[in-house]
Chains A and B, each alone.
Chain A
Amino acid sequence: SAVISQKPSRDICQRGTSLTIQCQVDSQVTMMFWYRQQPGQSLTLIATANQGSEATYESGFVIDKFPISRPNLTFSTLTVSNMSPEDSSIYLCSVGENNGHYGYTFGSGTRLTVV
């Protein structure tokens, strides 16, 4: 299965600033997903990022707040803009791939604290 390098692993940021999270995949994948996981909660899908097209955002998430880039089939970034303490979460990227069955591999996550 694909191996995903996600950076940074953690960060502490001042409110009002922005943070860009990167995910690099060791193989070409069509579908990439970005999730937010608030403390003690399950995963919430932010958007689906397909190469060559605009990201598709889920209800409650907007491009101005969470701009996503997907320049090629192995790389994507998620920016958390104008951060507030409510943005403190784990952010995870994930890829979908077919290895006998269609499944999902995750990056190691970015633990973001906004102060």
Chain B
Amino acid sequence: AQKITQTQPGMFVQEKEAVTLDCTYDTSDQSYGLFWYKQPSSGEMIFLIYQGSYDEQNATEGRYSLNFQKARKSANLVISASQLGDSAMYFCAMREGGTGGSYIPTFGRGTSLIVHP
């Protein structure tokens, strides 16, 4: 079974509108971390946002916020006020376990976001 599921291969959004990219995860660990990365066509992986399993509030970083629903095991990325430069692949990832746990992250298949002018 996949540990990270991104069900949207591609998404389109109009410039200045908000968009939600879906991510569900599967783990039996109580302590874990969730990440979102952006990969533009240049190929680099850019860290966007992090949510810890014990964090009570949803993480926010500028225009990025993470809609964390622990009971549903979902960690959706919300991008507000989309910009043309947001067009890229977006990957959800998870690191399981706390101290002493595995430090190897698991990545989803990614969602391609295209922002239209």
Interface of A with B (CB < 8 Å)? Answer: 1, 31, 33, 37, 41-43, 45, 48, 90, 92, 94, 96, 101-109, 111
Contacts of A108 in B (CB 8 A): 42-44
Q: Which residue of A lies closest to B98 (CB)?
A: A102
Q: Could you pull out 22 A-B pairs where Cβ atoms are within 8 angstroms? A: A42-B107, A42-B110, A43-B45, A43-B107, A45-B104, A48-B104, A90-B43, A92-B43, A96-B103, A102-B95, A103-B35, A103-B47, A104-B93, A104-B95, A104-B105, A106-B37, A106-B45, A106-B46, A108-B43, A109-B42, A109-B45, A111-B43
Q: List the B side residues contacting A103 at CB < 8 Å.
A: 33, 35, 47, 50
Within the complex, the shortest CB–CB distance from B112 to chain A, in Å, comes to 9
Query: Does B33 lie within 8 Å of A102, measured CB to CB?
Result: yes
Measured CB to CB, the nearest residue on chain A to B103 is A96
CB–CB A109/B35 < 8 A = no
Q: Are A42 and B45 in contact (CB under 8 A)?
A: no
Residues of A within 8 A of B104 (CB): 33, 45, 48
> Is the pair B44, A106 in contact by a Cβ cutoff of 8 Å?
yes
Q: For residue B105, which residue of chain A has the nearest CB?
A: A104
Closest A residue by C-beta to B33 = A101
Q: Choose one: B52, B103, B109; the contact of A42 (CB below 8 Å).
A: B109
| B91 beta carbon closer than 8 Å to chain A | yes
Chain A, residue nearest B112 (CB): A40
Residues of A within 8 A of B109 (CB): 41-42
In the bound complex, do residue B108 and residue A101 qualify as a contact, i.e. CB atoms below 8 Å apart? no
User: Do A42 and B43 have beta carbons less than 8 Å apart?
Assistant: no
Cα(A106)–Cα(B40), bound, Å: 13
In the complex, A92→B45 CA distance in Å? 9
Nearest CB on B from A93, distance (A): 10
How far is it, in angstroms, between the C-alpha of A33 and the C-alpha of B106 when the chains are bound?
Answer: 12
How many Å lie between the Cα of A31 and that of B95 in the bound state?
Answer: 14
Asked if residues B35 and A104 are in contact (CB atoms below 8 Å), the reply is yes
CB nearest neighbor in B for A99? B50
- Least CB distance from A53 to B in Å reads 14
